[in-house]
Chains A and B, each alone.
Chain A
Amino acid sequence: MITAQSDSEFLSEVVFDHFLARHSELPDWLVKQKQASWTEYLALPAPNRKMETWRFANVKGLGVEGFRLAPSLSEEDSQSLIENSQNVKETSGKLVFGNDDLVAEEALSEELSAKGVIFEPLERAFAKHPEILEEFFMAQESALGSEKFAAFHTALNRNGTLLFVPANVEIELPLVSYHWANGGESAVFPHTLVIAKDNSKVTFVDIYGSSDKESAQLACGVSTLYAGPGANVEYHYVQNWNEASLSFNRLTTVAERDSNITAYGLNLGSKHARNEGHTVIEGAGSNAEILSLTVAHKEQEIDQRTLQSHNAPNSRSNLLFKNALQDTSKTIFSGLIKVAEEAQLTDAYQTNRNLLLSPTAEANSLPGLEILANDVKCSHGATTGQIDDNELFYLLARGIDKPTAQKLLVFGFFEEILEKINNEELANYHRELVHQKFEIA
């Protein structure tokens, strides 16, 4: 029966068997890992309002039962997604995924391949590079409440990006992956694994989007970045799922000795987005910049939880999350800096700034510190406010009309993040998206 077949694709308790049957190509080690994760997923409780890690969140809207394993794309749909995957032109490599299938690929140059760089879709990498994936795939724990969703991801993921940069290799132009969800009720499980070995340098960009504006979709993604000793890793993610969608993302960043990590997040899409960002300082002398910009409108809920874990001395992490809220949108920022006893001479900062552009918008902020070392510099701060009257008066007093003045001030608020992006094409891409979103509202 056709109905029975399509029912089995919905994300109920039995969907996993169906998934395994459909993907017999997956290697045994991975299937075992998936089976364990599925069991874990079923056993773990759903988020509820009593859980501190889900405080303020609208947990009622997080059910996944209405979504199904995303179907394969028609040739026509694939073509249209490929055409829309042109936002960053100057790249060293590009992957385009539609409903978790690889639909287009611009491979690395021969030069980079010869140096040992790996940039592969997971659908091939699971078979080709098991030595890397068995060690690094889903090797990090959830620390911020998403255990159930991480298990869900592990069980049902089948594609994404593996980017491996060997020691001393520097890649100038960014590598980019596009992840598209297509069609109503589609569930996708995008994955990113970046491993930058000693003294290497790389910029990687994830762009998440939907093929149309209305279809409700589910995205449950996990990204993990490893910056080896002395490595320089820049990561951008653009969360631009359509506003009917539910999205989860867990980003873990591990910084080893003397590494430099910069992560830029841009949150524009989803009806309800939950992002968890865990920065793990494992090596001395490392430096992490963690930046995020959110523009929320209508009834969007953007829920961001962060943890800066300092486990090694003499390192620095600096987090700046800025949210601009319109209409009845809602944001949650919950951030914690944890400094272990041995992490002396840590500099760790955490700032959350919320700009309320509507009296009915709601910004929640929960900053926190947990410091066991005694010689550290740490600060956290959160501000929530409207457009500053003095700033507005100054602009008006130059003859600039009120709507234009307000727009300039809001763009100025965004610029504090955008101006830190060194790659001009990426900066302008982010800028354009942010301005577009603000203009539409």
Chain B
Amino acid sequence: MSVLEIENLKVNIDDKEILNGLSLTLPKGEVHAIMGPNGTGKSTLAKALAGHENYEITGGSATMNGEDILALEIDEIARAGLFLAFQYPVEIPGVSIANFIRAALNSRQEEDIDAVAYYKSLYAEMENLGIDRKFTSRSVNEGFSGGEKKRCEILQMAMLKPEFCILDETDSGLDVDALKVVAEGVNQMRGEERGILVITHYQRLLNYIVPDKVHIMMDGRIVKSGDKSLALEVEERGYDWIKEEIAAGV
């Protein structure tokens, strides 16, 4: 049951249906990519799974290791093991990165984490991601560049060690160097104990984070799945041929 299982998921925003029957199975140990044109509901999927209140679930199911996550509160979903790397990480004035991640870790255990051990692991992960130590006392995301924000997301992911990760457009706003660092951080987290879902608009990211499976999303659901070559084909031919395939009932 080590799987994130989404079946026939339907989600509305302001009474408008954005996801209309999306199904996806992400087993632990695999990296899947979702690609699709703008406005097709990719970020809606990410936010809805994370439990955002503005996203109304009107049908279907989503389970993580067999547990119904649609019935859980936002913080409960996170503690159950789902991590969302935000497309637009939020600035939190006055809350330092160190205090923020520590609060997140403490929320997952009975006893507060030992301060020395905590800083040791935090510094190690920061070094790994090329984040300067002075960032520990900086307010979360405040005044960060695009690349710094995304690295900070991956830092949180590395510290929280979630079972399933959704990376929502993690490549947006990054130059190639920043992209490589972020991708390297994600690659280090690949493994049997984790499933990773990469949502992206561009194939570029998938050169660095090579997926086991690629899903094409259109109009609120997955319309085609394949291996990594599907991403290359989309890169070369765009999405129109897939639309035509669907129209032709292939």
| Chain A residues proximal to chain B, CB less than 8 Å | 390-391, 393-402, 404-405, 408-409, 411-416, 419
> Which residues in A have their C-beta under 8 angstroms from that of B77?
397
**B99 and A408 within 8 A (CB):** yes
Query: B75's closest neighbor in chain A, by CB?
Result: A396
How far is B173's CA from A152's CA once the two chains are assembled, in angstroms?
62
The A-contacting residues of B in range 30-50, CB under 8 angstroms, are 50
What is the distance, in angstroms, from A393's C-beta to the closest C-beta of chain B?
6
> Which residues in B have their C-beta under 8 angstroms from that of A401?
75, 107
Q: How many residues of B contact A (CB 8 A)?
A: 28
Partner of A399, one of B95, B108, B139: B108
Known: A397-B75, A404-B107. 6 other contacts (CB 8 A): A394-B89, A397-B50, A404-B103, A408-B92, A415-B94, A415-B95
B204 interface residue per 8 A CB criterion = no
Partner of A411, one of B51, B94, B104: B94
**B78 and A393 within 8 A (CB):** no
A-B pairs, top 8 by smallest CB distance, nearest first, are A412-B94, A415-B94, A399-B78, A396-B74, A394-B90, A398-B104, A412-B95, A399-B79
B143 interface residue per 8 A CB criterion = no
How far is B84's CA from A402's CA once the two chains are assembled, in angstroms?
18
**A398 and B156 within 8 A (CB):** yes
**A394 and B86 within 8 A (CB):** yes
> Which residues in A have their C-beta under 8 angstroms from that of B156?
398
**B93 and A413 within 8 A (CB):** yes
What is the distance, in angstroms, from B153's C-beta to the closest C-beta of chain A?
10
**A416 and B90 within 8 A (CB):** no
B243 interface residue per 8 A CB criterion = no
How far is B54's CA from A390's CA once the two chains are assembled, in angstroms?
11
What is the distance, in angstroms, from B131's C-beta to the closest C-beta of chain A?
17
**B92 and A412 within 8 A (CB):** yes
With contact pairs A398-B104, A399-B107 given, residues A412 and B139 touching in the complex (Cβ less than 8 Å): yes
How far is B90's CA from A414's CA once the two chains are assembled, in angstroms?
18
A-B contact pairs, 11 of them (CB 8 A): A393-B90, A395-B103, A396-B75, A398-B107, A398-B156, A398-B160, A399-B75, A399-B107, A409-B95, A412-B94, A419-B94
What is the distance, in angstroms, from A173's C-beta to the closest C-beta of chain B?
24
| Chain B residues proximal to chain A, CB less than 8 Å | 50-52, 73-75, 77-79, 84, 86, 89-95, 99-101, 103-104, 107-108, 139, 156, 160
How far is B104's CA from A395's CA once the two chains are assembled, in angstroms?
8
**B94 and A402 within 8 A (CB):** no
**B89 and A397 within 8 A (CB):** no
> Which residues in B have their C-beta under 8 angstroms from that of A400?
75, 103-104, 107
**B107 and A411 within 8 A (CB):** no
**A412 and B75 within 8 A (CB):** no
Partner of B92, one of A391, A402, A404, A419: A391
How far is B78's CA from A187's CA once the two chains are assembled, in angstroms?
54
**A412 and B78 within 8 A (CB):** no
Interface centre among A393, A414, A419 (most CB of B within 10 A): A393
How far is B99's CA from A408's CA once the two chains are assembled, in angstroms?
9
> Which residues in A have their C-beta under 8 angstroms from that of B107?
398-401, 404
> Which residues in A have their C-beta under 8 angstroms from that of B94?
411-416, 419
Query: B99's closest neighbor in chain A, by CB?
Result: A408
> Which residues in A have their C-beta under 8 angstroms from that of B103?
395, 398, 400, 404, 408
> Which residues in A have their C-beta under 8 angstroms from that of B101?
398
How far is B99's CA from A404's CA once the two chains are assembled, in angstroms?
12
